[in-house]
Structures are given as structure tokens and as C-alpha cells.
Amino acid sequence: MGTVTETVIETVAIIYIKSRKLLLVRPRGAMAFYMPGGKPEPGEGEVAALRREIDEELGTAIEDLGSQPFGKYEAAAYGKPEGTRVRITCYLGGLRDSPLPQAEVDELHLFTYAEYCSMPEVAPAVVKIMEDLHARGLVA
């Protein structure tokens, strides 16, 4: 039997909560909703990458971003080959304007924990994030 080589995809995301619901995005061609954010470019810091990604994906700027990550979450990467994991460094922050789907984002939605977990397709890392936010009383 061959061994599965593990790959970790490093990403950065914003935790944007409104009315005790977490903002998630559905990229074009995907079934599951993901955290807004993405992968830093070579040499790009986490915060700079997050600001760029939110501008590209949601057409707005980040406000009130925490100086330290809220948390790091790791799980199997949804829709990727076996052995691929995603590590998401999350920052808690606000948005300057109402977010609108841009670039590769087809849809965005505010979810409670139960709403997201009842979806037919969910990303394991987002479930972990939602569990944490729900346990802390930040998301209904």
C-alpha cells in the first residue's frame, strides 16, 4: 500500500459576525460556503493578504481588525485530494461597507451554527470555526 503524502494549504480569513451570524462565501463552482479570505502571495504578510483578498472577494475594506489572530484552525481541505489539509489563520474584524460578491465569489450569506451544519455540503475547517464561535457565544 502506498502512503498518502500530506499537504497543508496555508490561508488567512476574516471572522465577520453580524447579528450573531458568521459571514461565509461560496466560490464559483463550489457547493460549500467557505471563510472569506485566501492564500498569501509569496512574501506577503497575513494581514496584507487578508486585506487584499477581502477587497477582491467582497469589494470592501476591513475595519477594526485585531492585531493578533483570533485563532488557527486545521482540518481536511474540502474538495481536495486525500491527505490535503487546510490551516486557516483567522482574524476578527469588521467591514467598511456592505459586502458584495466579487471576483470568484458567487454568493455570500450570514449563517448561524445550526444553519451552516445543516447544509448538504460543508467544509470541515469551517465547521471547526463555527463550533468554536458557537461555544464562545459569538455565533448563535
Any idea what the CATH number is for the domain that residue 69 is in?
A: 3.90.79.10
- Give the pLDDT of residue 21: 98
Print the domain residue range for 123.
Answer: 7-135
140 is a domain residue:
no
126-133: long-range contacts, CB 8 A cutoff, minimum separation 24:
126/24, 126/32, 126/33, 126/34, 126/35, 127/75, 128/73, 128/74, 128/75, 129/15, 129/22, 129/35, 129/71, 129/73, 129/88, 129/90, 130/22, 132/71, 132/73, 133/15, 133/17, 133/22
46 is a domain residue:
yes
Answer whether residue 1 shows pLDDT above 60. Answer: no
For 106-124, the pLDDT digits (tens) are 999 999 999 999 999 999 9
Q: How confident is the model at residue 130 (pLDDT cuts 50, 70, 90)?
A: very high
11 is a domain residue:
yes
114 is a domain residue:
yes
Answer whether residue 20 shows pLDDT above 70. Answer: yes
127 is a domain residue:
yes
Which residues touch 62 (CB under 8 Å, ≥6 apart)?
A: 14, 50, 51, 54, 93, 94, 95, 96
Q: How many domains does the chain have?
A: 1
Q: How confident is the model at residue 129 (pLDDT cuts 50, 70, 90)?
A: very high
- Give the pLDDT of residue 84: 95
1 is a domain residue:
no
Give me the chain's average pLDDT, please.
95
126 is a domain residue:
yes
2 is a domain residue:
no
For 45-100, the pLDDT digits (tens) are 999 999 999 999 999 999 999 889 999 999 999 989 989 999 999 999 999 999 99
